[in-house]
Amino acid sequence: MNQVKRHVETKFIHGSQRGETSTGAVNTPIYLSSTFHQNSFDAFGPFDYSRSGNPTRQALEDKIAELEDGSRGFAFASGMAAISSALLLLSAGDHVLVTTDVYGGTYRFVSEVLQRYQIDHTFVDMTDLNEAARAIQPNTKAIYIETPSNPCMNITDLTGIVKIAKANNCLTFVDNTFMTPLYQNPLELGADIVLHSATKFLSGHSDVIAGLAVTRDESLGEKLAFIQNSFGSILGAQDSYLLLQGMKTLGARLKQSSRSAQVLVDYLNTHPLVEMVYYPGIASHPGYTIHQRQSKGTGSVFSFQLPNRAAAKAFVDHVQIPVFAVSLGAVESILSYPTTMSHAAMPKEEREKRGITDGLLRFSVGLEYTDDLIADFDQALQTAEAYTDVKSSVS
Ligand SMILES: *Cc1c(COP(=O)(O)O)cnc(C)c1O
């Protein structure tokens, strides 16, 4: 019997293997066992101790490997645990190029932890391939990118970066959190390691902190497995189960919230109070063409700029549906204020260079009824508008 083709939407629900064969349970059992009895004195079974391997975690690791078209998947206690563990593939004396608008936790790990182990770094604007190529040093071993990046949705040319990396014997690491395997497959484009904060879209319900990594090359997979087991920052069985459940609906969730995002973006783009909207689905976005080439969707996160802090505050105070919080990629819409949330540690001048002004808000669209979100934005912007007028006539 020929196997029927499975698109990624189908794979989110059914992997290539029928899950639990002994009972037929449609959900992966949660194996709450730290250790495993060995039936034979000299031939051990596939599992011995749950740091090294656990059947629930294994099901998740196999699933993300299949979704990303890799050969091995790894589940970690957080996105940062996945990212840090992957970066521990580097050794003292090595150098890594990192995108300037990298996730804040990655910025901190590279600049404050790796630095202490003599692993050097250069932050580079990866939207400029010439600048990336120029920053390569004889000891550069890896290039680390995010596309789209946070919060201004800058697009990096994945194929272009991979070409530079390969020409210089470097590995390419891609944080694929914003696009997920539904919309972007960096391994297909030649990247070596794909990373996810599975806390976001993959889990989708704001109930678990988790990270995933995927490799395609067997020997690189072996090295990362060694680090996962040595460093030990693994995902527990119960969280692995939650994540497996969340991933089943990723296709439906992300498509719906991406559709709503496009509607909200179109609305904001014509609103007089909104100075700028950052979203890779806007044709005038500088990375639009590259993103269309390397991704199948534009996602459900965008940022928009109001005139000043007072307007942003009035909007946050009056909007009713979204939660005001850090994080993204959940069933509930999440509104955040990068200036005091994700980018609080960055000096104002550095922030503003990256477009993160005091009027910038980031929005992760959830699964609420689209017109409810539009109506909510409309009434909150009306208030913000009135407030801005009063303020600007005073100052
Ligand atoms: C949230 C996030 C991370 C960190 O993941 P945690 O699960 O919070 O450790 C890394 N990269 C991106 C792009 C993120 O949004």
Q: Where residue 38 sits, what CATH number does that domain have?
A: 3.40.640.10
Q: Would residue 277 count as lying in a domain?
A: yes
Q: Which of 225, 247, 269 is the last residue of a domain?
A: 247
Q: Is the per-residue pLDDT at 154 higher than 50?
A: yes
Same domain flag for 289 and 230: no
pLDDT over threshold 50, residue 88: yes
95 Cα to the center of ligand 1, angstroms:
22
Distance from the alpha carbon of residue 199 to the mean position of ligand 1, in angstroms: 7
Atom of ligand 1 nearest to the CA of 178: 13
End-to-end, the C-alpha distance of the chain in Å comes to 74
* 308 and 226 in a common domain: no
What is the rounded average pLDDT of the residues 193-198? Answer: 98
CB distance 213 to ligand 1 below 6 Å: no
Is residue 34 pLDDT above 80, yes or no? yes
- Are residues 260 and 239 part of one domain? no
Kindly give the number of the ligand 1 atom that is closest to the alpha carbon of 146.
Answer: 13
Out of 204, 226, 247, a domain closes at: 247
Asked whether residue 258 is domain-assigned, the answer is yes
Residue 393 has pLDDT above 50, yes or no: no
Flag whether 346 is in a domain: yes
Residue 313: other Cβ atoms inside 10 A: 16
- Is the same domain home to 76 and 206? yes
Looking at the fold, whether 350 and 372 belong to one and the same domain comes out as yes
Of the pLDDT bands very low, low, confident and very high (cuts 50, 70, 90), residue 222 is: very high
Instruction: Name the domain boundary from 201, 223, 247.
Output: 247
Q: How many domains, the chain?
A: 2
CB 175 within 8 A of CB 200: no
Q: What integer pLDDT is reported at residue 363 of this predicted model?
A: 98
* Residues carrying an active site annotation: 51, 103, 175, 200
**Is the pLDDT reported for residue 73 higher than 70?**
yes
3 domain-assigned: no
Rounded to the nearest integer, the mean pLDDT of the chain is: 95
| 351 band by pLDDT with thresholds 50, 70 and 90 | confident
Are residues 120 and 147 both part of a single domain? yes
Asked if the bond preceding 151 is cis, omega within 30° of 0, the reply is yes
- Asked if pLDDT for residue 59 goes beyond 70, the answer is yes
Is the beta carbon of 150 within 6 A of some atom in ligand 1? Answer: yes
Q: What is the pTM of this model?
A: 0.96
Comparing 347 with 283, which gets the higher pLDDT? 283
Q: Are residues 72 and 193 in the same domain?
A: yes
CA dihedral 264, 267, 272, 277 (to 10 degrees): 50
Residues 243 and 350 in one domain: no
SS (H, E, C) 75-96: EECCHHHHHHHHHCCCCCCCEE
Phi, psi of 206 (to 5 degrees): 50, 35
12 pLDDT higher than 70: yes
Tell me what pLDDT residue 22 has: 86
In a domain, 2, yes or no: no
Average pLDDT over residues 45-59: 97
264 and 164 in a single domain? The answer is no
**Domain contains 133:** yes
Ranking 18-27, 74-83, 243-252, 276-285 by mean pLDDT, the lowest is 18-27
With a pLDDT cut of 70, the percent of the chain lying above it is: 97
Residue 347 predicted with pLDDT over 90: no
Q: Residue range 352-379: average pLDDT?
A: 96
Structural contact between residues 71 and 215, judged by C-beta atoms closer than 8 angstroms: yes
Domain assignment present for residue 1? The answer is no
Mean pLDDT of 165-188: 98
Q: Which amino acid is at 118?
A: Q
> Residue 191: inside a domain, yes or no?
yes
Q: Which of 78, 179, 199, 328 to mutate to test the pocket of ligand 1 (most atoms within 8 A of CB)?
A: 199
Q: In what order do the strands lie in the sheet with 323-324?
A: 276-278, 301-305, 360-364, 334-336, 323-324
Which of 107, 177, 158 has its CA nearest to residue 364? 177
Mean pLDDT of 53-72: 97
- The pLDDT, as a whole number, for residue 389 is 64
User: Is residue 267 located within the same domain as residue 359?
Assistant: yes
Same domain? 207 vs 313? no
Q: Which residues fall within 8 angstroms of residue 74, CB to CB, at 6 or more apart?
A: 61, 82, 85, 212, 213, 214, 224, 225, 228
Considering the domain architecture, whether residues 163 and 278 belong to the same structural domain is answered as no
Q: How confident is the model at residue 395 (pLDDT cuts 50, 70, 90)?
A: very low
Query: 309 - beta bridge partners?
Result: none
User: How many helices (H) and strands (E) in the chain?
Assistant: 14, 12
Domain extent for 222: 8-247
Tokens of 23: 């009972």
Q: Taking 90 as the threshold, does the pLDDT of residue 86 lie above it?
A: yes
* CATH at 264: 3.90.1150.10
pLDDT of 190: 98
pLDDT, tens digit (0-9, with 9 covering 90-100), for 96-119: 999 999 999 999 999 999 999 999
**Average pLDDT rounded to a whole number, residues 274-297:** 97
